[in-house]
Amino acid sequence: MILEASVSLKKFQSSMVNERKSHNTIKQYIFIVTKFLEFTNKPADAIGMDDIERFKSHMVVDKGYSKSSQYLAIKALKHFFRSMSLEPPPNLTVPRRPMKMPNYLSEKETRGLMEAASRDPVNRIIVLILAHTGMRVSELCSLKTEDVDLDSSIIRIRSGKGDKDRIVLIPEEVCEELRPYYLARLGDRGCPYFMKSRRGSRFDTSTVERRIRTLATQAGIARRVTPHVLRHTFATTILRNGGDIRFIQQLLGHASVATTQIYTHVDDESLKALYSKFRPRY
């Protein structure tokens, strides 16, 4: 069974590579399917509806998976069955995903984070790029120096989520602050990635996440701050400043405007202004 599972996982991984799934997606899906095969202890073609029900219960009761985590796991398993040329069991259905309010920083908190980042040039660059472009942390880590064009104030995102290319914009003052680092990266032929680690390789997403958490603590921000919080902060700020939802969708690289619509519910300043105008006056 162990050998058979190993062969199935290799085939699954190969199919995802051929489909040009992102490194992070492949890593997540392989982890989920490995746990699933260990749990069922059966070859893929012998797995039935009862096994699926037991695993779904295991995710909720034993592992305490959130609905979002369950959703991801079911997506991975469906993809796995199809890569094996098998029809997914009928009860392999995803739970309804919760529409949670995105966590974002105030302008004061964002400025505090940037000030904390000023003590280290690399930290400063990480925060500047994430806060001003809204790119995903995986996109930052995969960014190559050749795709940064400071003269045109743009960054080209290659094969972002969903294998889509797009362009993000950088303010002129940020371009000037990035320029010394950018010129140094242009002269480095050993590593093509814009964010280079001390080991001479590309940054890992966990490294960036750890740096952001540390900076948030130094800035006195009590709640948990991640690179994705900066992405939410970027989108919320653009909307608050009058940006169109379609424009934000394009900048963030969302496949559907429905994903971007969540930001229309978090503009607290607009809500306060409207409430002040229309509130009951008993």
Catalytic residue among 79, 161, 185, 196: 161
Domain presence at residue 79: yes
Q: Are residues 76 and 156 in the same domain?
A: no
Give the model's pLDDT for residue 69.
87
Q: Are residues 116 and 186 in the same domain?
A: yes
Known catalytic membership, residue 20: no
Question: Does pLDDT of 128 surpass 90?
Answer: yes
Give the model's pLDDT for residue 90.
92
Give the model's pLDDT for residue 18.
87
Q: Are residues 55 and 133 in the same domain?
A: no
Known catalytic membership, residue 166: no
Q: Which of 83, 118, 136 is the last residue of a domain?
A: 83
Q: Are residues 77 and 111 in the same domain?
A: no
Q: Are residues 12 and 120 in the same domain?
A: no
Whole-model pTM: value is 0.70
Give the model's pLDDT for residue 98.
62
Give the model's pLDDT for residue 267.
62
Q: Using 50, 70 and 90 to split pLDDT, how confident is the model at 279?
A: confident
Q: Are residues 169 and 258 in the same domain?
A: yes
Known catalytic membership, residue 124: no
Catalytic residue among 124, 136, 196, 232: 136
What digits encode the pLDDT tens for the residues 39-98? Answer: 999 888 899 999 999 999 999 888 888 888 888 899 999 999 999 999 999 999 877 766
More confident residue, 130 or 202: 130
Q: Are residues 170 and 268 in the same domain?
A: yes
Catalytic residue among 21, 185, 196, 231: 231
Domain presence at residue 91: no
Q: Are residues 136 and 66 in the same domain?
A: no
Give the model's pLDDT for residue 238.
87
Give the model's pLDDT for residue 282.
78
Q: Are residues 149 and 256 in the same domain?
A: yes
More confident residue, 184 or 255: 184
Domain presence at residue 102: no
Q: Are 84 and 45 in contact (CB under 8 A)?
A: yes
Known catalytic membership, residue 199: no
Q: Are 127 and 117 in contact (CB under 8 A)?
A: yes
CA distances from 100 to 143, 225, 261, 265 (A): 29, 16, 12, 10
Catalytic residue among 156, 166, 228, 240: 228
Domain presence at residue 279: no
Closest to 202 measured CA to CA, from 177, 178, 187, 185? 185
Domain presence at residue 41: yes
Domain presence at residue 263: yes
Q: How many domains does the chain fold into?
A: 2
* 212: Cβ contacts below 8 Å, ≥ 6 apart: 113, 126, 127, 130, 225, 226, 227, 229, 230
Domain extent, residue 25, equals 2-83
Q: Are residues 114 and 231 in the same domain?
A: yes
Q: Are residues 54 and 190 in the same domain?
A: no
More confident residue, 97 or 123: 123
Q: Which of 51, 83, 115 is the last residue of a domain?
A: 83
Q: Are residues 36 and 132 in the same domain?
A: no
CATH number, domain with residue 76: 1.10.150.130
Give the model's pLDDT for residue 2.
59
Known catalytic membership, residue 254: yes
| Pure H helices in 41-93 | 49-57, 67-83
More confident residue, 200 or 131: 131
**Percent of the chain residues topping a pLDDT of 70:** 93
Known catalytic membership, residue 228: yes
Most confident segment among 66-75, 257-266, 269-278: 66-75
Give the model's pLDDT for residue 182.
93
At position 68, the amino acid (one-letter code) is S
Domain presence at residue 205: yes
Domain presence at residue 204: yes
Question: Does pLDDT of 3 surpass 60?
Answer: no
CATH number, domain with residue 179: 1.10.443.10
Residues 279 and 139: their CA atoms lie apart, in Å, by 43
Question: Does pLDDT of 160 surpass 70?
Answer: no
Q: Which of 50, 83, 116 is the last residue of a domain?
A: 83
Which residue do the tokens 């094996």 mark? 84
